[in-house]
Structure 1
């Protein structure tokens, strides 16, 4: 039997089972490979930007129009932060029984 090439396998970070590098789900524990941010991470950072932008503008004392513009800019910045922070693949914990 042929042995796998060492660069083509890796260990699951949760159960330490040897799996193929291209595997999407660990056969041992059920952990899943996630590409990019989850929906929750995207919504959380977008919401923070949506609130933080107008809050900063209102503290400065600018008007409501600038607060609306700051909300839009903050929401976009939050969305992009989520995608920049989680731009690579990572393993998500297995589902709880």
Structure 2
């Protein structure tokens, strides 16, 4: 019978199998990429950053509402979303929310 390879859970440090994606002790899950909350937060931060920089550099775009603001808003959302994809790329262990 082949021996199982074990490693320590990064959250609770109890032994788990190397291939496990859920810790049976602390219920932590292995995630790949950003979760929904992180994607949304980064997208909104990108939106705020683009709108803030545009407001500082080109204040005339906001005097009467300009149609250039809409593509800028979409570009900010897209830039923030892409940033989240790169920032949270790879696998990591996340504990479940305690409610």
Asked whether the equivalents of residues 31 and 95 of structure 1 are also in contact (C-alpha less than 8 Å), the reply is: no
Q: Secondary structure at the match of 2:10?
A: coil
In structure 1, runs of 5+ residues without a counterpart are none
Cα distance per residue 1:22-64 (max 9 Å; x no partner): 2111011111111110100000000111122122112112523
| TM-score relative to the length of structure 2 | 0.81
Q: Which structure shows the higher helix fraction?
A: 1
Q: Number of aligned pairs?
A: 94
* Aligned-partner Cα distance in 1 for 2:23–2:69: 46
Asked whether the equivalents of residues 25 and 33 of structure 1 are also in contact (C-alpha less than 8 Å), the reply is: yes
1:39 aligns with 2:41: no
Q: Which has the higher contact order (CA 8 A, sep 6+)?
A: 2
| TM-score relative to the length of structure 1 | 0.82
In structure 2, runs of 5+ residues without a counterpart are none
Displaced runs of 4+ in structure 1, greater than 3 A?
A: none
Q: CA RMSD in A?
A: 1.9
- Structure 1 residues 15, 80: closer, same or farther in 2, change over 3 A? same
